[in-house]
A and B are shown apart, each in its own frame.
Chain A
Amino acid sequence: MKIPTLFPFILLLLSALTLPVSPGQTQEVAKSGITHAKIAVLAFRGADQAVNRWSATAEYLERTIPNHSFEVVPLSLDEMRNTVANGKVDFVLTNTGNYVELEANFGITRIATLRSPTNVRAGNVFGAVIFCRNDRTDIKTLEDLKGKSFMAVKEQGFGGFQMAWRELKSHGIDPFEDFSRIEFSGFPQDNAAFAVLNGEIDAATFRTNTLENMANEGLINIEDFRVLNPQKYPGFPFTVSTRLYPEWPFARLKNTSQILAQKVAIGLLGMATDDPAAIAGHYGGWTVPLDYQPVHELFRELRIGPYEDIGEITFADLFGQYGHWLVLVVVTLVGIVIWASWTEVLVARRTRELSTSNAELERQINVRRKAEEDAIMRRSELAHIHRLNTMGEMASGFAHELNQPLSAIANFARGSIRRITKGGADSQELLSALEQMAAQSTRAGEIIKRIRTFVKKEEPRRVRDDINRVIRETLKFIQSDADRQHTSITLDFAANLPEVEIDVVQVEQVILNLVRNAIEAMSASSNKTRTLTIRTSETHRGEIEISVIDTGPGIQAENLEDMLDPFVTTKENGLGLGLSISRSIVEFHGGLLRAGNFHGAGAIVSFTLPVVETVDMDNEPT
């Protein structure tokens, strides 16, 4: 029985591949308080060029991360492999293809993806073009290239060959078998375009945007070329023949300190697109790490790089080679065993896939979690500043509110003093006045406490609460303002709403902001009826919707679109942050904030909050 005996072997091989080689110790050495870190960079055009290109990035990191020094270590493809295998560097900056190989073999993890220069809209993905001369009527499709001569940049080049290889292969062309000859131009890749133009070669491939760049520089006339297998991708501005792949990643080694990696990631993501480091490196800053799975797929399909060995013994290959008699034997003799074995191999394959994607997922989660935590911190700081600003604007309202209990206390006290001085004061009456005074001092204290809670800087904290209660509490802030503006507030609350899980202070901030906006909008209008309605309801999607409806002039059509963006304001003294902060708070809670006009009279601003699932705590899975 040939197949079943092969399975354990395949499994062994697969599991060996998924075990990363231990990369040894990182180079973080504490020397006089300075941590030294090494960045291996791929020097595909020589060490000098690589150092020139990336030193500014290392210097940028030194500026951004105090007490750290970064050294650029230029390496060739082969050196890269050994260096990473031995863990002699902390970070790796290499091309997409090389990265995936190092990731699969040595467990390196990308922490950021390069962004193309700002003047290039393509952003952070690229592909390759396969092209011939425009007057070649004999070449229309990739299939027509069979028997023709072909030029690529470099056999190991990702954009310079492997991307095209994948497309050729899927069109039934083996570049090493089916071309009359294959040549590699090396750098500069421009050579391939000239070779096609001169008729030295029938067709060629290189990275996207190379043809366009050459045409812009006046080196070629783009109409002289025809791109084969042209593809269209939304937002991708260049001619392209292949699938798109992510740009160069910045990766950390397996043993690089998590804290250092985080600092570097934050530093890179914070780099401005026009930072001198980005300009020196011919790129446009860094973005969150992209998904490199398409690159893995390419390698798997081509059976190169990390998947080179698998190619020899995949089940499909075996089946293709021996299928005819295997099927015969299997069908006639032990169908049931085959079925069992199939299951076994499927489970094994699935397990392997799962464990790879698990590790991948974990890495992604870590990076994302960090980014999310940062975003939460930034949002909550901004929200805090905005709350302080709001309280400042509302100071006179609070002064009035505090004046009420203070006046009452003074009046009760004076009235009591007069009664006692006159003699014959009724002690029961006096007692009741004293009780009132005590109650009023509590009232004043509560007002101060409410303001303090609102302006206190706190870690975001979610609790379950009743949204109607939260709205009522919030209105205590604004009631005196509303009174002063002769605005009546109508509460149209749905009864028995399920609870929401919210950061109460932040949601109060949203409500306060919307209500203040509405009052302000109405005070500016000549409309006599100033009514503000706050409505709560449960949507059929299991969300709670809170709407603030006013009878003001409504929202101008031209403002509807960008009014939720930061720094967009129609107010003379406004910062334009209120609505944008409100929106980010709402979205942070998993809801949506929308604004519009209400039946042509006044504005309506609504937001949703997801309802807390009613879970029996005892049965909750742990």
Chain B
Amino acid sequence: MNRPDPLVFVVDDDDAVRESISWLISSVDLKVLAYSSASDFLAQCRPGQAGCLITDIRMPEISGLELQDELNRRGCDIPVIVITGHGDVQTAVRAMKAGAFDFIEKPFNDQLLLDLVNRAVASSVESLREQIEQAEVKTRIESLTPREKQVLDLISTGDSNKNVAHGLNISEKTVEAHRARVMSKMQANSLAALVKMVISLESE
């Protein structure tokens, strides 16, 4: 699997703050891209990019909160870390409700921010991996014939071959043949793995 490195995006209109955060993040070997406005960032933002976004809640034009809304609308589920001023607890709570990954009060402890960034990046990588897996499971399911899909539905609920044969009014031998093809097409080496795949799709 050839995926690009995770990126840390920094969006802040204050040059010094933006550059200093970039400087801090890059000191732990993370790749940083910095933008002075939310619209600049949105212009290049693509879904599927692993990483995280650090932004200040107070910015002219588009605020941190509005940026978060816009990302949700575009289906970019990059985790957002919101920097708030001291005492901006209410806005921080709103940020969290709007789906921010976390918030951090300024001025912050550098280790705290870096931990937060690492967690956000890890979560982003993990969620992207899941997305890709789900997409693959979907493709595999789509390669099944209608009869094989019926068999998959029944065996994934825990029915025995006998019950499946009875339910579909076919012979048990035929069920066994279908079942082997389903396992192979779905690239599942056990019934448990197969059930997991089906559940991951249902939870979507």
**A residues whose Cβ falls under 8 Å from a Cβ of B:** 396, 399-400, 403-412, 414-416, 418-419, 422, 433, 436, 439-440, 443, 480, 483-484, 486, 488
CB distance from B94 to the nearest CB of A (A): 14
Cβ < 8 Å to A, chain B residues 99-126: 106-108, 110
A420 closest partner in B (C-beta): B27
Chain B residue at minimum C-beta to C-beta distance from A433:
B23
Q: Which of B14, B20, B63 contacts A415 (CB 8 A)?
A: B20
Bound Cα distance A422, B21 (Å): 18
**Alpha-carbon distance between A443 and B17 when the two chains are bound, in angstroms:** 12
B63 CB to nearest A CB, Å: 7
Is B87 among interface residues, defined by CB-CB distance under 8 A?
A: yes
- In the complex, the answer to whether B85 meets A403 with C-beta atoms within 8 Å is yes
B188 contacts the other chain (Cβ, under 8 Å)? no
Is B60 on the interface with A (CB-CB < 8 A)? yes
A483–B59 Cα distance when bound, in Å, is 6
Q: Is residue B58 within 8 Å, beta carbon to beta carbon, of the partner chain? A: yes
Asked if B19 is at the interface of the complex by the 8 Å CB criterion, the answer is yes
| Chain B residues whose CB sits within 8 angstroms of the CB of A483 once the complex forms | 58-60
When chains A and B are docked, how far (Å) is the Cα of A416 from the Cα of B58?
27
* Most chain A Cβ neighbours within 10 Å, of B21, B23, B85: B23
Q: In this complex, what residue of B is CB-closest to A488?
A: B60
Chain B residues within 8 Å of A407, by CB:
17, 20, 106-108
Q: Answer whether A415 and B24 are a contact pair too, CB < 8 Å, given A399-B85, A407-B17.
A: yes
Q: Complex: how many Å from CA A411 to CA B107?
A: 9
A418 touches B60 (CB 8 A): no
CB distance from B54 to the nearest CB of A (A): 11
Please give 6 more A-B residue pairs, beta carbons under 8 A apart, in addition to A407-B17, A411-B110, A415-B26: A403-B106, A408-B16, A412-B23, A418-B27, A422-B27, A440-B16
Binding site for A on B (CB under 8 A): 14, 16-17, 19-21, 23-28, 58-61, 63, 85-87, 106-108, 110
Q: Which of A400, A486, A488 contacts B63 (CB 8 A)?
A: A486
Chain A residues contacting B28 (CB-CB under 8 Å) are 418
| Contact in complex: A406, B107 (CB < 8 Å) | yes
Contacts of B20 in A (CB 8 A): 407-412, 415, 436, 440
Contact call B86/A403, Cβ cutoff below 8 A: yes
With a CB–CB cut-off of 8 A, which chain B residues contact A439?
Answer: 16
27 chain-A/chain-B pairs, Cβ below 8 angstroms: A396-B85, A399-B86, A403-B107, A404-B17, A406-B107, A407-B17, A407-B107, A407-B108, A408-B17, A408-B19, A410-B20, A411-B20, A411-B23, A411-B24, A411-B110, A412-B24, A414-B24, A415-B23, A415-B110, A416-B23, A418-B27, A418-B28, A436-B16, A436-B20, A443-B16, A480-B58, A483-B59
A415 to B107, Cβ gap below 8 A?
Answer: no
In the complex, residue of chain A having the shortest beta-carbon distance to the beta carbon of B63: A486
A403 neighbours in B (Cβ, 8 Å): 85-86, 106-107
The residues of A that contact B25 with a CB separation of less than 8 Å are 415
**Most chain B C-beta atoms within 10 Å of own C-beta, residue among A415, A433, A486:** A415
Q: What's the nearest-Cβ distance from chain A to residue B138, in Å? A: 41
Nearest-neighbor residue (CB-CB) of A484 within chain B: B58
CA distance A400 to B23 in the complex (A): 21
B57 CB to nearest chain A CB (Å): 9
Nearest chain-A residue to B105 (Cβ)?
Answer: A403
Q: Which of B20, B25, B110 has the most CB of A within 10 A?
A: B20
Q: Which residues of B contact A440 (CB under 8 A)?
A: 16, 20
Chain B residue with minimal CB distance to A422? B27
For residue A418, which residue of chain B has the nearest CB?
A: B27
Classify the secondary structure of A's interface with B.
helix
The smallest beta-carbon distance between A487 and chain B, in angstroms, is 9
Q: What is the distance, in angstroms, from A82's C-beta to the closest C-beta of chain B?
A: 77
Contact A410–B107 (Cβ < 8 Å): yes
Contacts of A414 in B (CB 8 A): 24, 27, 110
Are A411 and B21 closer than 8 Å at their CB atoms? yes
Please provide the 6 A-B residue pairs with the shortest distance between their CB atoms, ordered closest to farther.
A411-B20, A414-B110, A408-B16, A418-B27, A415-B24, A415-B23
B110 cross-chain contacts in A, Cβ below 8 A? 410-411, 414-415, 418
Inside 8 A of A484's CB, which chain B residues have their CB?
A: 58
Report the separation of the CA atoms of residues A419 and B22 in the bound assembly, to the nearest whole angstrom.
Answer: 13
Question: How far apart sit A439 and B58, CA to CA, in the bound complex (Å)?
Answer: 22
Q: Considering the chains assembled together, what is the distance between the CA atoms of A486 and B21 in angstroms?
A: 24
CB distance from B174 to the nearest CB of A (A): 64
- Chain A residues near B85: list those with CB within 8 A: 396, 399-400, 403
B100 vs chain A, min Cβ distance (A): 18
In the complex, chain B residues whose CB is within 8 Å of the CB of A411:
17, 20-21, 23-24, 110
* A488 cross-chain contacts in B, Cβ below 8 A: 60-61
* Cα-based distance from A414 to B108 in the complex (angstroms): 11
Q: In whole angstroms, what is the CA distance A307 to B85 when docked?
A: 80
Question: Which residues of A lie under 8 Å from residue B24 when comparing CB positions?
Answer: 411-412, 414-415, 418
In angstroms, Cα B28 to Cα A416, docked, is 11
A404 to B17, CA, bound (A): 6
B106: A residues at CB distance < 8 A? 403, 407
Chain B residues near A436 (CB, 8 Å)? 16, 19-20
Interface centre among A418, A433, A443 (most CB of B within 10 A): A418
**In the complex, which of the residues A396, A415, A418, A419 contacts B87, with contact meaning CB atoms closer than 8 Å?**
A396
- A430: shortest Cβ distance to chain B, in Å? 10
Most buried by B among A408, A480, A486: A408
What's the nearest-Cβ distance from chain A to residue B101, in Å?
Answer: 19
Determine the distance from Cα of A443 to Cα of B20 in the docked complex, in whole angstroms.
15
**Within the complex, what minimum Cβ distance (angstroms) separates A496 from chain B?**
28
Chain B CB within 10 A, most for which of A399, A411, A415, A443: A411
For the complex, what is the distance from the CA of A486 to the CA of B16, rounded to whole Å? 21
A436 smallest CB distance to B (angstroms): 7
| Most chain A beta-carbon neighbours within 10 Å: one of B16, B21, B63 | B16
Q: CA–CA, A436 to B14, complex, Å?
A: 13
A486 to B57, CA, bound (A): 11
- In the bound assembly, the distance between CA atoms of A286 and B14 in angstroms comes to 59
A420 to nearest B CB, angstroms?
10
Cα distance, A396 to B86, chains bound together (Å)? 9
Distance of A10 Cα from B25 Cα, bound (Å): 99
Residues of A within 8 A of B26 (CB): 415
> A415 CB to closest chain B CB, in angstroms?
4
| Chain A neighbourhood of B107, CB < 8 A | 403, 406-407, 410
Give the complex CA separation of A419 and B87 in angstroms: 31
Name the distance in Å between A216's Cβ and chain B's nearest Cβ: 66
> For the complex, what is the distance from the CA of A403 to the CA of B14, rounded to whole Å?
11
Residues B59 and A404 in contact, CB atoms below 8 Å apart: no
Task: Report the nearest B residue to A439, measured CB to CB.
Answer: B16
Complex Cα spacing A204 to B85, Å: 83
A252 to chain B: closest CB distance in Å?
60
Cβ of B60: which chain A residues have Cβ within 8 Å of it?
Answer: 483, 486, 488
The smallest beta-carbon distance between A493 and chain B, in angstroms, is 19
List residues of chain B with CB within 8 A of the CB of A415. 20, 23-27, 110
| Complexed CA–CA distance, A611 and B60 (Å) | 35
Of residues B27, B28, B60, B61, which shows the largest number of chain A Cβ atoms within 10 Å of its Cβ? B27
